[in-house]
Amino acid sequence: MGVVLALMILWPMLQLAEFRPWLLFDPAHIAVLGDFLVQFFPPNLEPEFLGFVLTATIETLAMATAGIALAMLIAIPLGLVISYSLSISRIGPRSDHRLAKGIRYIARALMLILRGIPEIVWALLLVRVFGLGPIAGVLAIAITYGGMLAKVYSEILESGNALPARALLLSGSGRITAFLYGLLPGAAQELASYTVYRWECAVRASVVMGFVGAGGLGQLMDQSMKMLNGSEVSTILIVFLGLVLLADYISLFIRKQLG
């Protein structure tokens, strides 16, 4: 019954999305795809172009790292405000404190706005403001990932053991002290692991945002594709795959160290 219901829901969705995988085996489409792939070989290994690729790669890594750093500056205070584990008004005698509830609602609304708009949309808007370059990408990652990190940070803090934090709050400690000594020791590993994962995602997002003028490998690839230079695109794709593998390795290494 469940399978039938799933198919009834999925089939109209596939029709609306114009999902037609059999078109991949159409002889005309196969010929076009073959001609397109032939242009990618051999990759462009000229020293001058490799220098451009190296510069764009460093720019992409810098964009992702700076964006995540700024996102954490947004997420940490938002996550602390949203987390019910640090709510004095919830566990203390002032359970109906309207000011605390109002601030929490505002913080949740801000978090929803930040993470509800994709980073590519923020990049499009910010490129109009700041012009072409990595600053638009950095701010786009910071805004969207700030909301994402805030949501997950608050959920991690709420899912952990809140008894030490509540004991500190009831004894008169402030929220920051309760967080540092009550919640953070038990949640530090999970918080760090998710932050590293988001940095890994930011590396991929930095490349995508380059297509709207935010700099990095994406912008270089966009220029090569517009010039129909398949060998340059092939080189950039190889470097990008290596960059993703490097990000995966660094992420795995850090998680092992945290474990």
249 in any annotated domain: yes
How many domains are contained in the chain? 1
19 in any annotated domain: no
Per-residue pLDDT of 9-22, as tens digits, reads: 777 776 777 777 77
26 in any annotated domain: no
Peptide bond just before 42 cis, omega within 30 deg = yes
Which pLDDT band holds residue 100 (cuts at 50, 70, 90)?
Answer: low
What is the residue range of 217's domain?
54-258
Q: How far apart are CA 62 and CA 70, in angstroms?
A: 12
16 in any annotated domain: no
Helix axes 216-226, 47-82, angle to 10 degrees: 130
Which residue shows structure tokens 């760090």?
192
Helix axes 216-226, 184-209, angle to 10 degrees: 20
Q: How far apart are CA 232 and CA 254, in angstroms?
A: 33
CATH code of residue 140: 1.10.3720.10
215 in any annotated domain: yes
Per-residue pLDDT of 145-193, as tens digits, reads: 998 998 888 888 777 676 776 777 777 766 777 777 777 777 777 888 8
How many CA atoms lie within 13 Å of 259's alpha carbon, on the beta-carbon side?
8
Return the pLDDT at 73.
92
Per-residue pLDDT of 58-71, as tens digits, reads: 888 888 899 999 99
**241: Cβ contacts below 8 Å, ≥ 6 apart:** none
Q: Are 194 and 148 in contact (CB under 8 A)?
A: no
Return the pLDDT at 92.
45
Of the chain, the percentage scoring pLDDT greater than 70 comes to 85
- Mean pLDDT throughout 33-39? 74
34 in any annotated domain: no
- Between 122 and 85, the higher pLDDT residue: 122
25 in any annotated domain: no
- Mean pLDDT throughout 83-104? 60
Neighbours of 29 (CB within 10 A): 11
Which pLDDT band holds residue 258 (cuts at 50, 70, 90)?
Answer: low
Per-residue pLDDT of 215-256, as tens digits, reads: 778 888 888 877 777 788 888 888 888 888 887 787 777 767
Q: Are 242 and 92 in contact (CB under 8 A)?
A: no
24 in any annotated domain: no
Q: How many residues does the chain have?
A: 259
